[in-house]
Amino acid sequence: MSIKYAIINFMKKFFCLCLSFIAIVFSLYYANLGGFTGNSGALSKIGLTHPVLFMIWGTITCIALFFNLIVGYMKTKYKFYIPLLIIAFIGMVLTVTNDFDYSQKSEYLLHCIGSMTFSIVMGITVFLLFLLSKNYRLTIISGLILTGDLICLIIFKETAIIELTPIFAGYILLGIHNTRRERKAVEIK
């Protein structure tokens, strides 16, 4: 491995960690505007009173997760994640451009479809990265976090802490994955 490659590789990892840190700090600031535990603190509900901050939050979240996933998947030979990221991006665009307002049924529906699309596709993309990289410990942890978060979402409805848990876990687990030494990925036969 050349020094040039090592420096570029380090810079990619450092850049992803910085993006994740910025996204976590902004998410905490944004969620603090509505409270972390009450239903009024749901990220989309905060977006009704702070639409510009909601768009900024969505943009920062997308960028941080996407760059981390791109760096993670570059360790493998798989390219199927690209259409998944496009689908997730469309989901986030629908989420931040349509109000979470019950009185505007079509916008509310598009917002919910976008939010669910982004959440599900990103969860699957992160989970598959760990699985295909043979990082079974992170695969199990991410599966447990996604399952636990879904159960909490069903029981307690939307709250900032429930919505941010899988996103923050994604930042942390992707950071761990991306900064570890490369392992041999599963090959397609």
Q: Which residues of 15-50 are buried (b: 16+ CB within 10 A; e: fewer)?
A: ebbebbeebbebbeebbeebeeeeeebbbbbbbeee
**pLDDT computed for residue 41 by the predictor:** 60
Amino acid letter, residue 117 = T
Q: pLDDT tens digits for 42-79?
A: 888 888 899 999 999 999 999 999 999 999 999 888 99
* Location of structure tokens 């409270």: 35
Among 25-29, 84-88, 135-139, 185-189, where is mean pLDDT lowest?
185-189
Higher pLDDT, 55 or 3: 55
Spans of all domains in the chain = 3-179
What mean pLDDT is reported for the chain?
88
**pLDDT computed for residue 172 by the predictor:** 94
Confidence band for 39, pLDDT divided at 50, 70 and 90? low
**pLDDT computed for residue 66 by the predictor:** 96
pLDDT at 37 over 60: yes
* Location of structure tokens 């429930």: 162
Q: Decide: helix, strand or coil at residue 96.
A: helix
Q: pLDDT tens digits for 112-129?
A: 899 999 999 999 999 999
User: C-alpha distances in angstroms, 181 versus 6, 32, 115, 130, 163?
Assistant: 12, 36, 33, 13, 30
**pLDDT computed for residue 125 by the predictor:** 95
